[in-house]
Amino acid sequence: MDRKTTPEVMQENDVIDLLVRQHTLIRDLFDEVARCEGDERREAFSRLVRLLAVHETAEEEIVHPYARRKLVGGDTIVDNRLQEEEEAKEMLSRLDDMDAASPEFMRELDRLRAAVFAHAAAEERYEFSELKAATSEGERRAMAVGVKAAEAIAPTHPHPGTESATKNLLIGTPVAMMDRARDVIRKAMGKHESGEGH
């Protein structure tokens, strides 16, 4: 993939295409974190945390509930994916507390990378392919709205213009970022059930 032409906000209108494309970006960011050192590693890791936060939250808010309702055996498929996501989130929080220059950080990063790759492969194989067969183009386009809204607050490349604005939107711990992403997604999807009282 030519990284220079990767758009900041993805142009796809199909939720499955968007999520699969994010899986590729996540892989690229893991490579970037491992390749960089010092402050650059910390900065690349921040972008990885942001992308993972919006990606997994979008799946949990939009795609998994849909798969649970629509797919044969959907409960089992989704329960397995949620368990994998929980394990990844715990690793992510541990990493976030570590010194990025330490050998422990690199070991934990490798563990997280293996877990996230296996998780993404299981999603594509057991959930996304089935979901694509069970939904209409219109349904997948409607689901893409929330994923795009979340994506817009997590640029994957350093961007002088948007970086400061992004920092205001997604800051703090991975858990705080997921909470923020959840609010953005629910607003985009027209839901108001995040405890805001309306």
CA–CA distance, 91 with 93 (Å, rounded to integer): 5
CB closer to Fe ion out of 100 and 135? 135
Cα-Cα-Cα-Cα dihedral sign, residues 78, 20, 7, 190:
negative
Say if residue 3 is exposed, middle or buried (CB neighbours under 10 Å; 0-12, 13-18, 19+): exposed
Alpha-carbon Rg for the chain in angstroms: 16
CB closer to Fe ion out of 77 and 184? 77
CB of 72 to Fe ion, least distance (A): 20
Task: Please work out, in degrees rounded to the nearest 5, the angle formed at the alpha carbon of residue 138 by the alpha carbons of 198 and 58.
Answer: 50
CB of 65 to Fe ion, least distance (A): 13
CA–CA distance, 161 with 132 (Å, rounded to integer): 36
CB of 93 to Fe ion, least distance (A): 16
CB of 85 to Fe ion, least distance (A): 5
Residue with smallest beta-carbon separation from Fe ion: 59
Give Cα separations from 49 to 62, 98, 139, 176 (angstroms).
Answer: 20, 13, 28, 11
Q: Tokens in use for 30?
A: 């893991």
- Summarize as ranges the residues that interact with Fe ion (CB under 5 A): 56, 59, 123
DSSP, collapsed to helix, strand or coil, labels residue 172 as coil
CB closer to Fe ion out of 74 and 100? 74
CB closer to Fe ion out of 41 and 85? 85
CB closer to Fe ion out of 14 and 59? 59
CB of 82 to Fe ion, least distance (A): 9
